[in-house]
Structure 1
Amino acid sequence: MIGSMFNSDSKPTPLQAGAARKESREQRFLRIKQDVHRHLIAALDTGSATALKDHELRRELRRGIEDLCRYRADLLNEGERERLINEVIDETLGLGPIEPLLRDPTISDILINGPKVVYVERRGRLERTNVAFHDEDHLVEIVQRIASKIGRRLDEANPMVDARLADGSRVNAVIRPLALDGALVSIRRFAAKPLIAADLISRGSICREMIEFLAACVQGRLNMVVSGGTGSGKSTLLNMLSGYISENERLATIEDAAELQLQQPHVARMETRPANLEGQGEVRSRDLLRNALRMRPDRIIVGECRGDEAFDMLQAMTTGHAGSLTTIHANGTRHAIRRLEMLVGMASFELPIWFIRELIASAVTIVVHCERLAGGQRRVTQISEVTGLVGEQVQMHDLFTFEKTGLDQEHRQMGRFMATGIRPQCLEVLREAGIILPPSLFERRQLIPERADTVAPVTPRRNPT
């Protein structure tokens, strides 16, 4: 197999011992790695390689690299050879220097500011790594590899891209001339296994009473909006809530970069598409949303409302697609309603404000706000109910809140979850759906988070009659 994949006459030339002594050991390692990678690519028979499965290709690449490394035996020890083999395989098949970061389950975000500056977020804290790319061309090449796999382009004509990795992680990249100091790349990691309610409760992100109410709202087909800032946990919460949707329902999802991890068997997933070089072929969220209405979905889930698709989303919520969900960037539940007003107004300038507010009040029942607090913790800080219009103003009240009480010695936000004591008006709708929530769930009090070892699954109580 080696002979069929590699040209035997492509061998690296030995280094001069004198030149090697002028370099540090790390510099020498990097130079040898680049040289071996270059010769590997030159010797690789792409026709034979593409016929192999991933694990077979990795095995054959390892053999080929070991063969090339024999010409550097005087310069590399056993540990360096193993490191070189792994890094060259990552360079050839994976994402180069950041591949080890992607295998680290404790990392939630990878933030790249040019080829020599790479930060990661662990447990809500940013820390700089010693990972570096050879140069900016190397970094751009890696990002272009990601984008090309899903049919996206990244070049001077299109210097921004939203893409995704095979595991669903979301990638955003900006290159020159928009990025002044080198390519900027952010990767939002997603767990291989979606978080469930017990995970969020055990992490202190939400309390059982709040989950029980939200799960009832999902099963009772109330329309819901999840708001929050970047990295606040909106998509994580949306994924978790979708787990309470019946497996018998048909779902349609619309996203800019597919990242939702729905567990239902009947899901029609759609993703927007940017325009081509000629400025044609663009498919927007609004186009997909209108098409989704013809696909007989029971519910529609829009990954994020950020433009004129908000108007169509609200119309869908009021015309036979009850129980739909979406997210929106906002600073609180009331600000989320104002953002919806603005987005709908931008979509249809001729609509009067009283009509827009009436549409929102009739479409949205529950707004949930997520926040990334000082210290990096993610919390659900508000659950509010939209109760209708008073005059021309959308009225809503808080059912559950998170009250901030200051910072601890490590500058992490402290606080407590509270039930406000307000009884939701939507309880009657839930009762008609056969879901009974006890009045005590909403009594004004502090809600005590549970320990990780005591969290049990949350199942909304249904009326036996």
Structure 2
Amino acid sequence: MSLLTSLGRIDGINKQVMIFSSHDEGQETIEDRSYQAAKHRIHQLIVDGMTPDEQKVLSAASNDSHQIDEVIQKYCQQVIDNEAFAVPRGYIPQLVVDIRDEMLGLGPIQSLLNDESVTEVMVNGPQKVFAERLGKVELTDVKFHDNAHLMNIIERILTPLGRRIDEASPLVDARLEDGSRVNIIIPPLSLVGPALTIRKFSKKPLTVDNLISFGTIDAKMAKFLQACVKARVNILVSGGTGSGKTTTLNVISSFIPEAERIVTIEDAAELRLQQENLVILESRPANIEGEGQITIRDLVRNALRMRPDRIIVGEVRSGEALDMLQAMNTGHDGSLTTAHANSPRDALSRLETMVLMSGLELPVRAIREQISSAIDLVIQQSRMKDGSRKITHVTEVQHMEGNTITTQDIFRYEQTGFDDNGKPIGHFVPTGLQPSFMDKFELNGIELPENFFMPESGIRESYRRSAL
């Protein structure tokens, strides 16, 4: 899509500016309407009067923000000179920012995406935009003009990816240029208008040291997980929505040695691995004729022919769980994936259900045997009351006893209370149980200190009581 076309399609470039916003039942003030009207006229003036040189400056490929602002400011000044009472001159800097965001960014929500303290942006129709900031969700002053304005921004997200959204296909998963996850659902499925959810990813990939400093994990658990990845242990990261599964998967995948070939498979590419020998695969929805769909299952099967050392599936949701388990059971040790579940035990039950969704009529015992032999470790992650994330269980999947898969906790998080600010207080505890896959550590030359899995004397009795 050309710049001129893109600009021309945005008829309602209306962002609720905090300076002008009214908190009284969402009513617009006279200043609001004047500001929006002036912005619309400036935008139209740019579309109609832009010279070829200015168009080049305003192109998305331009990195000179100072030149871009100069061009926009020229047209702002022109409108205000001709219409003395349009808006006060002091608002020209805000006009420049807003119009730049409309032309080259994602309109009203661009300021939220630029805010590093914001981790998630949730648009519930054009008039209600929520943001998660420091673990707390709050209603912002940002607004779209109407559904058409919001749909223009949605199309701007989807067009570079070759994805589409319309009444025939009213929901889609996508991603931004920086890898941030995007989900969109529109009417008739959404009754509040188009709903847009963006889960932002940190511009700088997080490391295990970051997780330790955030309190998601402690140093001993981190050392154990690093050893597990290097020893080619098959790992499932489970947790609820927004618990940080993908972030943890990104971090632990950084422990994979550079010499190994990795194939990642996702609905929308979000993982950001740093290794050189990396192939990134992304599923594809059906086209407008209902043809050409490539599913996660298709990609997992194809990955087996690509000579991978490791296969990483961003998330298993249905029948691809069977293909993932078979890959883990046929020589692709050290593979990683995530799934939604509330506990390690629930994660295994969900895997069983997802295998049944593959359409194959397999005996339940056969499925459980596949799971117990494929998955070595479950990392359970939870979102706490204050919005922080914790790895609450590191659980080994052992073997079958009768028709039941046996498990044992290697580490767990014990919460002891809350501080004055409502933050959870607790500590990470090794349970004293040694995993049965220690032979993999020995085969890969990985050594852990003696008594590594023993809890410290001060918390050993606490854990013993909680386990009873």
TM-score scaled by structure 2?
Answer: 0.87
Which of 200, 203, 208 matches 1:189? 200
Between 244-253 and 151-160, report the one with greater CA deviation: 151-160
- C-alpha separation between the residues in 2 aligned to 1:39 and 1:295? 53
Map of 1:28 onto structure 2: 34
C-alpha change, 1:46 and 1:269, in structure 2 (3 Å) is farther
Is 2:146 aligned against 1:140?
no
CA distance in 1, matches of 2:53, 2:288: 29
User: Which AA in structure 1 matches 2:75?
Assistant: L
Question: SS of 1:402's equivalent?
Answer: strand
Q: 1:160 to 1:446 in 2, by over 3 A?
A: farther
Q: How does 1:69-80 map to 2 (within 5 A)?
A: 69=76, 70-73=78-81, 74=84, 75-80=86-91
Residues 115 and 139 in structure 1, CA contact (< 8 A), matched pair in contact too: yes
Q: Which residue number in structure 1 is paired with residue 166 of structure 2?
A: 155
Q: Calculate the aligned-residue CA RMSD, in Å.
A: 2.3
* TM-superposed deviation, 1:203: 1.1
Asked if 1:114 corresponds to 2:122, the answer is no
Q: How many Å separate the matches in 1 of 2:55 and 2:434?
A: 64
Paired with 1:370 and 1:102, the residues of 2 have a C-alpha distance of 25
Query: How far, CA to CA, are the matches of 1:164 and 1:267 in structure 2?
Result: 19
Q: Are 1:237 and 2:248 matched, yes or no?
A: yes
- Contact 2:239 2:382 (8 Å CA) reproduced: yes
Matches within 5 A, 1:250-265: 250-265=261-276
CA contact (8 A) 2:184 2:194 kept: yes
Matches within 5 A, 1:32-47: 32-44=38-50
Higher RCO structure (Cα 8 Å, ≥6 apart)? 1
Q: 1:421 to 1:127 in 2, by over 3 A?
A: same
Q: Which amino acid aligns with 2:234?
A: N
SS at match of 2:312: strand
Residue type at the aligned position of 1:372: R
Question: In the alignment, which residue of structure 2 is the partner of 1:451?
Answer: none
Q: How does 1:363-374 map to 2 (within 5 A)?
A: 363-374=374-385
Whether the 8 Å contact between 2:80 and 2:87 is mirrored in structure 1 is yes
Displacement of 1:179 in angstroms is 0.9
Check the 8 A contact 2:38/2:87 in 1, yes or no: no
Offset, 1:136 = 1.6
Alignment of 1:162-311 (within 5 A): 162-311=173-322
Q: Which secondary structure state, in structure 1, belongs to the residue aligned with residue 334 of structure 2? A: coil
Deviations along 1:304-340, one digit per CA (max 9) or x if unpaired, are 0001111010111111211000000000111111111
What CA distance in whole angstroms lies between the structure 2 residues aligned with 1:57 and 1:304? 39
Moved more, 430-439 or 247-256: 430-439
Q: Are 1:54 and 2:65 an aligned pair?
A: no
Moved more, 56-65 or 238-247: 56-65
CA distance in 2, matches of 1:170, 1:444: 38
For 2:23, the equivalent position in structure 1 comes to none
Matching of residues 89-108 of structure 1 within 5 Å: 89-108=100-119
* Counterpart residue type for residue 39 of structure 1: L
Is this contact kept in 1: 2:56–2:62, CA < 8 A?
Answer: no
Match of 1:443 in 2: 454
CA distance in 2, matches of 1:101, 1:377: 20
Contact 1:369 1:382 in 2 (8 A): yes
Question: Against the structure 1 CA distance between its residues 307 and 140, is the aligned structure 2 distance closer, same or farther, given a 3 Å change threshold?
Answer: same
Question: Structure 1's 143 and 447: CA in aligned 2 closer, same or farther, altered over 3 A?
Answer: farther
Deviation at 1:125, TM superposition (A): 1.1
Is residue 319 from structure 1 mapped to residue 330 from structure 2 by the alignment?
Answer: yes
- Judged with a 3 Å threshold, the aligned counterparts in structure 2 of structure 1 residues 79 and 247 are, in CA distance, closer, same or farther, namely farther
Distance in 2 (CA, whole Å) between partners of 1:54 and 1:80 is: 27
Q: Deviations over 1:47-70 (max 9, x none)?
A: 984795623675665344333221
1:17-67, CA deviations, whole angstroms, 9 ceiling, x for partnerless residues?
Answer: xxxxx9722321111112211332334478984795623675665344333
Q: 1:47 to 1:256 in 2, by over 3 A?
A: farther
Residue 110 of structure 2 aligns to which amino acid in structure 1? E
Separation in structure 2 between the aligned mates of residue 46 and residue 160 of structure 1, nearest angstrom: 38
CA deviation string 1:217-250 (max 9, x = no partner): 0000010000001110101110100111011111
* Maintained 8 Å contact 1:170/1:188: yes
Listed as ranges, the matches of 1:286-435 within 5 Å are 286-435=297-446
Unaligned runs of 5+ in 2: 6-27, 460-468
Indicate the SS of the match to 1:213.
helix
SS at match of 2:452: helix
Q: TM-score, with normalisation over the residues of structure 1?
A: 0.88
1:65 paired with 2:72, answer yes
- Conservation of the 8 A alpha-carbon contact between 1:420 and 1:445: no
Of 138-147 and 35-44, the range deviating more from structure 2 = 35-44
Between the aligned partners of 1:298 and 1:125, the Cα distance in structure 2 is 40
Count of residue correspondences: 429
> Structure 1 residue 436: deviation in Å?
0.8
Unaligned runs of 5+ in 1: 6-21, 449-465
Instruction: Please give the secondary structure, in 1, of the residue aligned with 2:413.
Output: strand
CA contact (8 A) 1:49 1:57 kept: no
- Structure 2: distance between partners of 1:87 and 1:283: 39
Query: What is the rounded CA distance, in whole Å, between the counterparts of 1:345 and 1:56 in structure 2?
Result: 51
Q: Residue type matched to 1:72 in 2?
A: I
Question: Relative to structure 1, is the Cα distance of residues 345 and 447 closer, same or farther in structure 2, using a 3 angstrom cutoff?
Answer: farther
